[in-house]
Amino acid sequence: MGYAIFTLRKLTLTACINECNTRAMINSERANVLTNQIYAKQSARNLAASNATLKAYQQYQASVDAGVEFAVARVSLDEELAKIDADSVASNAEIQQLNIRQNALDMERNTIETKLNAYSNELENVKKAEEQAIKNSIPKFY
């Protein structure tokens, strides 16, 4: 009867370990998706900001070359650069939200790893206890 209890506990712990491994794989896949989304948004933001900045400076240079007063051209340039910064701030807010979700996944991953370690250690202890029980139950003849 005692061996059945050990077997049942080992099966239960193995199921818990398998469930933790499954959750860890799902968590890892979600983290990869978020990482790719963050990269894509950062790349798109950087490209858009670079192109817009280049265009603003080209317009500024064209205005100066066309004889527009320097101060007026500079104000126009400053306005365009401010718009670019505002767009970057909005994009950064979206990226920050993705980073928050990624941090939550990291915390969940740590929790899963802790549970996995606890289940693995308990499974080893149950196996050792079962071995000891088997050794103790063998009849000894003197």
pLDDT tens-place string over residues 83-114: 999 988 888 999 999 999 999 999 999 999 99
Q: Is residue 81 included in any domain, yes or no?
A: yes
Q: Is residue 135 included in any domain, yes or no?
A: no
- Give the count of domains, the chain: 1
Q: Is residue 142 included in any domain, yes or no?
A: no
Q: Can you give the pTM of this predicted structure?
A: 0.74
Alpha helices in the chain (DSSP H): 2-65, 70-137
Whether 1 has a pLDDT exceeding 70, the answer reads: no
Q: Is residue 87 included in any domain, yes or no?
A: yes
Task: For residue 56, give the amino acid letter.
Answer: A
Contact of 81 with 24, CB cutoff 8 Å: no
Q: Is residue 134 included in any domain, yes or no?
A: no
Q: Is residue 120 included in any domain, yes or no?
A: yes
**Domain encompassing residue 87:** 2-125
Q: Is residue 141 included in any domain, yes or no?
A: no
Q: With both helix axes pointing from N to C terminus, report the angle between 2-65 and 70-137 in degrees, rounded to the nearest 10.
A: 170
Q: Is residue 140 included in any domain, yes or no?
A: no
- State the pLDDT confidence band at 67, using cuts at 50, 70 and 90: confident
What is the rounded distance in angstroms from the CA atom of residue 112 to the CA atom of residue 20?
Answer: 6
The total of other beta-carbon atoms located within 10 Å of residue 119's CB is 19
Q: For residue 2, what are the CA distances in angstroms to 111, 116, 124? A: 32, 26, 17
